Structure 1
Amino acid sequence: MARRCAVLLRGGVPATRVCAVLDREAAEKEHTERDTTSLRKIAARAARGDPVAEAIAAEDAPPWRVLAVAWRLAEESGAPLAPALDRIGGALRELERLGERREVLLSGPRATVRLVAALPLLSFGIGALLGFNPLGVLLSPAGVALFCGGGTLLGGGVAWARMMRRRVERADRVDGIECELVWVALGGGAAPETASRRVVDAIDEFGASWVRFDRFVSDGLLATTIRTAAATGVSLRPLLLEEAAGARARAHAELEQAAERLGIRVLLPLGLCVLPAFVALGVAPVVISMLGGM
């Protein structure tokens, strides 16, 4: 959304009408249901008179809130809005690509879990065709124990895998974003201290959880960059963008490594829970039924 907003703004669309235009485009094109719903909600709030930044921040998700902070800072400082949205949009797009890669890494284990969960029904069908009665085994006291144990293992394995995935997803972030937000706030000619205060105020107002307040301490990356620019006479804004790019590259590498490790670690619940569940629910009843028939 951010980059599309920047294109519309450069094309002459007023900032107050950008959300309405995006809403109309979303209705005409194929979008995910979540994206379409969010755009329509934002457009509805803006149409009834809410400031655009507040309309965006009302969508309770970290990317929307970061975008709202950037929008507010550009309005307050008088900085051009389109370049600010371009920067934030690029950062969010990189994070989206990482999520897509994580989905690819997890697609194999997820398909295996679904296959193993469906195999007991297949084994029951094969057992019935061979003249055995595995379902009758499950109705016996021993079968009930197998069913309860196998169901518990299967449910626990799926829940374990989901928990591992959510833990990695909660670590998603855009590092260096505080440098880019200060870059936006400096666009109107404000002093670095004033720009930093505006960024902190906007973060506090919208609750942008991706930008932690400890990034603004005196020994943090942002403060060090400001001091370096003041001591060397280098222009601060390009230096902020360079530091932001470096921090984002490091964080992106860490997140990608975490995604790759998740693709391997998710095999642990598969081996310890899902496969034993298949043995308990699909193999053992058929084997017991065969031995009983013999």
Structure 2
Amino acid sequence: MAETRLKEILAFVNHKGGVGKTTTVQSLATGLRRFGKGYFGKGADGKERKPRILLVDLDPQVSLSFLFGWDQVNSDNKPTTYDALINQTSLPVYKMQEGIYLAPASQKMVSIEPFLNQMAVPRKALRKILLKPLQEMQGAELADEGVSSILDAFDYVLIDCPPAMSLLTYNALAAASSVVIPVQLEVLATKGIAEITNAVIETREDLNEDLDIRGLLEVMSNDQTKATRQFKEYLSKKFDDYVFDSYTRRDTKMVEAQAMGTDIFTYAPYCRVGQDYERFTKEILESMPQ
């Protein structure tokens, strides 16, 4: 019988775009691989193993898929998360890096809501397909291990949600164990936190009683400005129990890394934002469910 590996399904949610949500998913995924050794027991060879991560891209902008090398132009005939959702078939997963798998998005997801609304419970479409056996689209690493379910194949599932409280985002909430809310320290980014927390409460009451808020991550902080210090004080007072100790600072190295088609830990691990995401990754690791 396969080992149950899954620790958390984390949905990354913010109804505003450009707040570092996708960057945070990319950095946490690669950070878990870089710093996760020693947290996940030993493999069949007796060596401490690193985590295996599944990325589920629900954003029609396909940004997370692009960052991990998904070429939508040359992948028109390959199944995506969109196909799995509307057909209620197994989730197609592609190995993108060692230990990191992707269920890619499609731009067609922008018009997916009419299809989802035809289902008996539209907000549970993602949850249902996550329970099905996986489709391993390239290679045979998972098959060789004798695993075919998310529970047995992956230690973490990270869901990148669209920048809206849409039906796709509610699907992520219904499927997740916890929510991470990346928050840029600006007025428009902070004013919608209550809407997200209310959505979590609603989903917990109706569809997913185990859903929790993992934390608010302050991103792209400019510590030298008075406004930033005021926003941090506001978040600390209003959402004290939820704010991560770690936060990330603005740094052009992140822009450079993504322009080069790589992650911050490969490109510049010791820059400011690299150190910030290292702290965030270790905070997630050290507080993960047992």
Give TM-score scaled by structure 1 length: 0.27
Q: Considering only CA atoms, is the larger Rg found in Structure 1 or Structure 2?
A: 1
Query: Higher helix proportion, which one?
Result: 1
> TM-score normalised to the size of structure 2?
0.27
